[in-house]
Structure 1
């Protein structure tokens, strides 16, 4: 409901000021408590006014939904998505418009796959999820996409439950489900309220060649989640959080020029995102980081090819 309210407010302001103010850039992010919405707020705070831009973040429903919004909503120019979302699309619809009409500006940071189960369960590794009741994330979410891909790559069959994080956590505590899988940048504030009394633990997900084409190895340390890790660290995988952009525009259109100006402003102000006032995940930001399976938005690629571009 809040998402629709914000989108409505955007459309009202667009009709008053004219979305036709060609320097307005609509950006779809994530839910109200997630990292994406904070990254979107930072982009707006730092880049608003630069190159005459107006950055307007909006709440989103997850990576798959964000891709659809970028493709189909006139007031959404770009959005934050997980880098494996195109892999999921290629597997389900090889002719999907997203494969030709969306590119990426930059990778912002890494997010980790969390697999949670109860300490008193017989689940000790990712393979023990076979045959279990597992929440893979809300319908259309990035968590759902990543969870399904990982289970597919590892040939693990589960009974899926499509629960949002808060509902899945309660279901896990009560025993209604056996495990939950979700993607978030570590350490996520979502797990701040979990204590040892909740009797939960993070389940290891060792990196393997089956995952290497899409993911990177990562770990959780006990300092990340003291109540969830018993022995120092737990293996997992990471997926990139990237800024995807609508890329089916004539280079002579004002909208294309605004997106090119955004790329220039992002590079010019990249040091400002390292400021302590910004989200800590910006410390991972490296504009030159490439994303397998994606093509770079041409204006950004051109800027990065210039020797004077800030590294």
Structure 2
């Protein structure tokens, strides 16, 4: 399979407002305030790091809305973590966002945001997010990182929460640092840190773009040794990262989950309508996102999948009720690229496994 060329396809109309909304510095008001020269109603979808997969997924969602549509979506860089949760709840420019299920289940998140499950609703449960541990030459295992500097990602972000959980489960003590994706790659190549943890849908642009001669490689994360109760098994191969992985080579890893969420209510009378329009366009045209040239993770998403312990947004529930075939049809793949020897054979068993994993996260926290 030819390697897919990754790029962030942000429509030009977004560029002028992108930085303003990303920083949260825009004048507060309704979605229409994002572009005072436009009569369109805007909806901000906060995603992940600018170098990650979630911002690309959000940009591809935005492309479903025609340039002459009265309703537009702007993808906003975020952290898929606590910052996204805060802006979902309080920023009038953000109506929907990506949040890691690790972050939702994390005990620190639950203590810092009381009644979180009542404050946020599920628009769609998205794809598993693979855990990438990128390391310098000479580091051959996670155990080799003991006592060394390892980037966990920005504080409160999805990578930081997952990295903390991962190393705690493996009883490996490292010296965490907090860098964004591009800064982490720079620090790795300079030898300032030993490794960096990235959590995102493979292939991640920031990793796929690393030249073969950079001296960096992905470490194996074996499913087991305390991880079987926390994560799902998965892996990487040459098709995912041709610059880093030789042909016919598999590198085992683990995965967590991510969901597209919206606030249950806001002090903005247009919020519910904007979310409803997002749902109608996204769900009705979801097939467009599964075509060649789009991020391959769209092909793994089942819009009817639930997130145990969380309420589905009314607009999503209503759309699914009106399109019963979406509930009864063939299940989309949920765990992509998984190490086959570690996964059940049938898709139904894989779906059940993922449901049990999400339920475990909700009940236990970590």
TM-score tier by shorter-chain length is: 0.7 to 0.9
Segments of 5+ residues of structure 1 without an aligned counterpart are: none
Query: What is the CA-CA distance between 1:134 and the residue it aligns to?
Result: 1.0
Q: Which residue of 2 aligns with 1:144?
A: 160
Query: What is the CA-CA distance between 1:48 and the residue it aligns to?
Result: 5.3
Distance change (3 Å), C-alpha of 1:177 and 1:31: closer
Contact 2:103 2:158 in 1 (8 A): yes
Query: What is the CA-CA distance between 1:143 and the residue it aligns to?
Result: 1.2
Q: Distance in 1 between matches of 2:197 and 2:245?
A: 16
Q: CA RMSD in A?
A: 3.5
Q: Distance in 2 between matches of 1:136 and 1:239?
A: 15
Contact 1:219 1:236 in 2 (8 A): yes
1:14 matched to 2:25? The reply is no
Which one of the candidate residues 245, 255, 264 is aligned to 2:262?
245
Q: Deviations over 1:143-163 (max 9, x none)?
A: 112111222233332111112
Q: Deviations over 1:157-177 (max 9, x none)?
A: 211111222222232233322
1:30 matched to 2:48? The reply is yes
Runs of 4+, deviation exceeding 6 Å: none
Q: Distance in 1 between matches of 2:191 and 2:132?
A: 18
Q: Distance in 1 between matches of 2:308 and 2:143?
A: 26
Matched length: 307
Mapping of residues 186-201 of structure 1, within 5 Å: 186-201=202-217
| Farther off after superposition, 185-194 or 209-218 | 209-218
Query: What is the CA-CA distance between 1:130 and the residue it aligns to?
Result: 2.8
Mapping of residues 197-216 of structure 1, within 5 Å: 197-208=213-224, 210-212=226-228, 214-216=230-232
Contact 1:137 1:144 in 2 (8 A): yes
Q: Which residue of 2 aligns with 1:109?
A: 127
Contact 2:82 2:109 in 1 (8 A): no
| Farther off after superposition, 156-165 or 204-213 | 204-213
Q: Distance in 1 between matches of 2:19 and 2:191?
A: 31
Which one of the candidate residues 285, 288, 301 is aligned to 1:272?
288
Q: Deviations over 1:193-252 (max 9, x none)?
A: 4344333221111123844455321101133234433671111112223211111369xx
Which one of the candidate residues 81, 93, 103 is aligned to 1:85?
103
SS in 1 for 2:275: helix
**TM-score with structure 1 length normalisation?**
0.82
Distance change (3 Å), C-alpha of 1:56 and 1:222: closer
Q: Distance in 2 between matches of 1:299 and 1:210?
A: 39
SS in 2 for 1:166: helix
Contact 1:136 1:147 in 2 (8 A): yes
| Farther off after superposition, 50-59 or 24-33 | 50-59
